Structure formats: structure tokens, C-alpha cells
């Protein structure tokens, strides 16, 4: 029933605004410039995970539909509204680990069925060099290591927030925000969504000839949720994080050399019951020649033996392997050393672009000696007009000494087709 209310509210809002547009000239102009938002994605995900007792293989055959619109400007303000629905053609998977007994004999595939209001925002540009966005919105900062939309999952992560981006000083971009609710990928009906609280972020970026320097702070203060297991309580990831990031690239002969370095420190804040003092480090070096690119990297998230450095609002699937075994940093931290090869070419048969990616990860604890295992990733994507097809594979193999509480052997395969307008 709640899904019908969401859809009905969106339709009533559209009808009301359209009616007003007929009476008000600025609104009429704004709606005459409205653009539709259409995104359809079908995906099949297969998961084979070692466990005791043995788990069934997950088969998640899901379809996601997003429909919405974005108007032109009236009084320097534009409206964006979008609804989202996810359905399952085959639901042999566990969609929410916080719900006991719900397909508990299957591995986790966090693509819950249902519908909701995905985005509803007003964007104003009345102040010179400043963009103000209020409402339910998508936020992606830098490489999304700290704040992102988790776009890989069918139900994306959005924010009920006030965001202000200022560019009035030449080259300098100031981006600050207040986050009231984090609408997580598990959906509105989940015990672990949304994360409520009073969180703030600040991100300041300035480009130099050799690269862009960014300073950032993320103060996440979440209200406790008592209906979930203690380890899943968002209060445990209420933290203050301060850091810096530098990224750039330069030509060296016929090769473009890229480099990224980032460092951050994190402490507890708000209602967090733990005392936290962990750091984050990232070093990456890449080389691109024609359609070929090679990247080497080392990402380290510290752990104190009780809890690891946390990034609960990140697009985590982009980091530490596609098998998603380290979405929560282990208590002893993680040291991820990786390499990636990319081949991108244009005009292959009927396709506009074809991209092949192969990557390897070696995982170790940061705080103690040991070995978490390694992982291979492989993907092939082809784009044709507004359609994108993807085949993707991940194979994580735990070391014999890896505690099962940290990670287990896991193989995943995806086939996906998406249309975006």
C-alpha cells in the first residue's frame, strides 16, 4: 500500500504544479522546458558463497524502473521529482540481513523489492556563483569513497539534505551540506534504513597545474537504532573524519601518467559508544596509452582491534573488490594492494564503445600480521546509444587463516542491461 501512496503523491504533486503553471507565466515556462527522466535496468546476479551450514546459491533476477522529470527554472529555481520501483522475476536471495528468517538460507543480494520516492529536490541559483539544493537528492563527492549514491545497487542511496556549492572565488569550489536522513539501499521498510541524525560535510577543492587539491571533513552523527543487532547500530559509525586528497595527471611522452594520494583521520562523535582513533591512506599510480590503461594502488584502512575505519555513506562496491567482502572494515583493519588493466575502444561492430576491465586484489590485516586472501575481478561492457550491457565476475578466495567472521570464499556473476534517457 505504501508504494501506491508514494506514486499517488508524486502524481498529485505533478498535477498541482502543472495546474499552477497554467496560471503563472514563470512556472509555465519552467514546465515547458521540463525534461523526462527514464532509467530501466534489468540484472541477473548469481552468488556462490561458502558457509557452514551450507547456503543455497543466490539467484537474483531483478528489474528496476526510475521515472521522473526535471523542470526548467522559475525564479532561478528548478524542480526534480523521481520515483523508483524494484521488482524480482526470481527472488532466491536474501535482500536484508537485519530481517531474521527472510530467505536466510541464501547469500545476501541487497536489492529489496518495493517502490519509493527516490528524489524530490529544489535547486536554486539566485546567489551569484552559488547552487543551493534542498530535498531528497543524490550526492557524489570526489571518488565516492566517503559520500556516494551506491549506484551499483538497484535501490540507490539518497539524502534528505541541504547542499550549497559555491564557485564565486576563481577555481575554488566550496561544497557544504547538512544531512538529515540517509535513505539507504535496503529501502524504507528495513529496520536499518533510513539513518537519521544531524550530519554535516565540507569539501573544498582547488586545481593546480599538477593536480587538484581537496580538503574535506565529514561529521556523521546518527541516531541509535535499537531494533538491529548491536554491530549494525549506526551509532557505532558516528564519526568525525578530516582529510586531504590530491589527484592529477601529466603527459610523459605518449603516455599519460595519473597519480592520487589521500589521507584522513577519524574519531568517534555523537552517541558512538566506542572510542575511535583510526587513519586512512590511499596511493594510486596509473599509465594510459591509446586505449590501454594500467593502475596500481594501495588502500589502507586502520583498525584498533575493536572497530575499523568506517565509510558508511560510500559507494563501497567500487573499492576492495566487487565480491563486496569488506563493506565493513575488519576490526584489525585492511591493507588492500591491487592492480587493474583497462581496455577501452570505440566503434566495435554496432557498439559505440567496448570496455574490458581485469583487476586483482591482495588483502591483509593492517594491525596484525596475516592474510585475508585475494580476489580476481573481470568485466566486459558495451554501449549502444542509450543502452549499456555488462557482464561481470568476481572470485574471492579467503586464506586458510582468515576468520570466517571476516570473509568466506565467494564467487559472483552478473549480467545486466540498462537504458537511460
Distance CA 275, CA 126 (A): 43
CB atoms within 10 A of CB 173: 15
Overall size of the chain counted in residues: 421
pLDDT at position 20 is: 43
How distant, in Å, are the alpha carbons of 21, 359, 377, 384 from that of 291?
49, 17, 20, 18
pTM of the complete model: 0.91
Residues 332-365 as b/e (b if ≥16 CB within 10 A, e otherwise) read bbbbbebebebeeeeeeeebeebbebebebebbb
Alpha helices, DSSP H only, in 128-180?
Answer: none
At residue 126, what are phi and psi to the nearest 5 degrees? -65, -35
C-alpha Rg value of the chain to the nearest Å: 22
Q: Is 289 helix (H, G, I), strand (E, B) or coil?
A: strand
Share of the chain above pLDDT 70, in %: 94
- For residue range 43-77, list pLDDT tens digits in order: 999 999 998 788 899 999 999 999 999 999 999 99
Q: Is 11 helix (H, G, I), strand (E, B) or coil?
A: helix
User: Could you tell me the pLDDT band of residue 96, with boundaries at 50, 70 and 90?
Assistant: very high
pLDDT at position 142 is: 97
Does residue 2 carry a pLDDT above 60? no
Q: Is 31 helix (H, G, I), strand (E, B) or coil?
A: helix
106: which 3 cell numbers? 541464501
pLDDT at position 15 is: 46
Cα 85–Cα 118–Cα 152 angle in degrees, nearest 5: 75
Helix, strand, coil percentages for the chain (3-state, nearest 5): 10, 55, 35
Q: What's the whole-number mean pLDDT along residues 102-115?
A: 92
* Cβ partners under 8 Å of residue 54, min gap 6: none
Amino acid at each position: 500500500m505504501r508504494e501506491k501512496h508514494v506514486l499517488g503523491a508524486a502524481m498529485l504533486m505533478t498535477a498541482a504544479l502543472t495546474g499552477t503553471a497554467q496560471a503563472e507565466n514563470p512556472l509555465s515556462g519552467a514546465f515547458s522546458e521540463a525534461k523526462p527522466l527514464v532509467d530501466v535496468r534489468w540484472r541477473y546476479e548469481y552468488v556462490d558463497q561458502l558457509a557452514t551450514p551450507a547456503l543455497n546459491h543466490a539467484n537474483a533476477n531483478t528489474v528496476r524502473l526510475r521515472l521522473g522529470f526535471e523542470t526548467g527554472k522559475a525564479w532561478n529555481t528548478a524542480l526534480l521529482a523521481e520515483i523508483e520501483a524494484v521488482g524480482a522475476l526470481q527472488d532466491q536471495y536474501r535482500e536484508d540481513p537485519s530481517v531474521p528468517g527472510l530467505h536466510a538460507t541464501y547469500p545476501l543480494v541487497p536489492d529489496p523489492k518495493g517502490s519509493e520516492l527516490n528524489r524530490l529536490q529544489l535547486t536554486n541559483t539566485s546567489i551569484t556563483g552559488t547552487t543551493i539544493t534542498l530535498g531528497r537528492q543524490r550526492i557524489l563527492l570526489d571518488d565516492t569513497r566517503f559520500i556516494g549514491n551506491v549506484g551499483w545497487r538497484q535501490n540507490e542511496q539518497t539524502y534528505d539534505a541541504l547542499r550549497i556549492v559555491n564557485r564565486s572565488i576563481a577555481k575554488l569550489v566550496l561544497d557544504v551540506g547538512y544531512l538529515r536522513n540517509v535513505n539507504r539501499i535496503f529501502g524504507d521498510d528495513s529496520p536499518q534504513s533510513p539513518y537519521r541524525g544531524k550530519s554535516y560535510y565540507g569539501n573544498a577543492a582547488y586545481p593546480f597545474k599538477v593536480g587538484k587539491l581537496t580538503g574535506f571533513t565529514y561529521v556523521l552523527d546518527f541516531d541509535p537504532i535499537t531494533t538491529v543487532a548491536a554491530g549494525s547500530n549506526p551509532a557505532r559509525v558516528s564519526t568525525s573524519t578530516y582529510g586531504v586528497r590530491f589527484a592529477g595527471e601529466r603527459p610523459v611522452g605518449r603516455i599519460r601518467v595519473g597519480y592520487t594520494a589521500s589521507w584522513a583521520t577519524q574519531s568517534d562523535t555523537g552517541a558512538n559508544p566506542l572510542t575511535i582513533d583510526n587513519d586512512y591512506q590511499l596511493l594510486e599510480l596509473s599509465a594510459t596509452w591509446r586505449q590501454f590503461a594500467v593502475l596500481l594502488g594501495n588502500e589502507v584502512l586502520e583498525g584498533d582491534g575493536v572497530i575499523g575505519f568506517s565509510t558508511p555513506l560510500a559507494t563501497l562496491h567500487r573499492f576492495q573488490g566487487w565480491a563486496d567482502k569488506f563493506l565493513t572494515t575488519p576490526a584489525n583493519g585492511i591493507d588492500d594492494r591491487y592492480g587493474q588493466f583497462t581496455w577501452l575502444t570505440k566503434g566495435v561492430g554496432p557498439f559505440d564503445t567496448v570496455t574490458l576491465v581485469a583487476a586483482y586484489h591482495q588483502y591483509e590485516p593492517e594491525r596484525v600480521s596475516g592474510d585475508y586472501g585475494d580476489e580476481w575481478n573481470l568485466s566486459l561492457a558495451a554501449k549502444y546509444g542509450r543502452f549499456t550491457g555488462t557482464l561481470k565476475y568476481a572470485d574471492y578466495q579467503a586464506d586458510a587463516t582468515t576468520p570466517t567472521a571476516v570473509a568466506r570464499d565467494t564467487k559472483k556473476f552478473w549480467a545486466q542491461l540498462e537504458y537511460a534517457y
